[in-house]
Amino acid sequence: MAVSAKHDEFNHWWATEGDWVEEPNYRRNGMSGVQCVERNGKKLYVKRMTHHLFHSVRYPFGRPTIVREVAVIKELERAGVIVPKIVFGEAVKIEGEWRALLVTEDMAGFISIADWYARHAVTPYSDEVRQAMLKAVALAFKKMHSVNRQHGCCYVRHIYVKTEGKAEAGFLDLEKSRRRLRRDKAINHDFRQLEKYL
C-alpha cells in the first residue's frame, strides 16, 4: 500500500466514531479507548491509542504497543489460535506524538468466559457442553504456549468461547503478550494470573 493511501486510511479510521465499549483511559501522558462501529453490515472494534509505548533493547525509546499487538495477532493466527481478524493496524508519529490504531472484526458467536459462566448460572449448560468448552480453552492455550507466547493479561474477560455447534476458544486484548525463552515460563505466568480470577 502506498504511503499516502495508508495515511488516508489511517485518518479515515481515526476520525470514525461509534459507541465506546472501553471508555478513554488517560494515563502516562497517553490515551487508550475502544469504540464499536458498523461497516458494510459487519461489527468492528476500533482501538485508538496515543503515546502508549513499550520499551525494549531493540526499541529503547519506545514503540507503540499496537504495533506489537498486530504482530502478536498475526503470529498466533499462523499458530492456529483463534484471534480477532485485523482490518487495519498502523501507528504514525504526528508532531512528536505517537498515534496508533487497531481495527478488528467482531468475534461473532463468541462470548467471554465471564459472560459464559454468568449465563450458565441462570440456565445451566450440560456437562457435555461444559467439558467441550474447557477442552477448547485448553487447546487454545496449548497452541499459544507452543510458540512460547504468553498472553500477559490473562483474565476471564480476555478469553472467548463459542459453544454453539463445535466448541472453540480464542483470545483478545493481546497488547501485553510477550515471547518467553522457555514455554513453561509462559504457561506458569498465564495460569498463575488466571487462577486469581477463577
Domain closes at, from 84, 105, 126: 105
Cβ atoms of 63 and 53 closer than 8 Å: yes
> For 137-163, how does the pLDDT look when each residue is reduced to its tens digit (9 = 90+)?
999 999 999 999 999 999 999 999 998
- Residues 96, 45 within the same domain: yes
- Please tell me whether residues 47 and 130 are part of one structural domain: no
Residues 171 and 180: beta-carbon distance below 8 Å? no
Amino acid, single-letter form, for residue 117: Y
Q: How many domains does the chain have?
A: 2
User: Any idea what the CATH number is for the domain that residue 165 is in?
Assistant: 1.10.510.10
Boundaries of domain holding 157: 111-195
Give 40-94 pLDDT, tens digit per residue: 999 999 999 999 998 888 889 889 999 999 999 999 999 999 999 999 999 999 8
Choosing from 56, 78, 105, the residue where a domain stops is 105
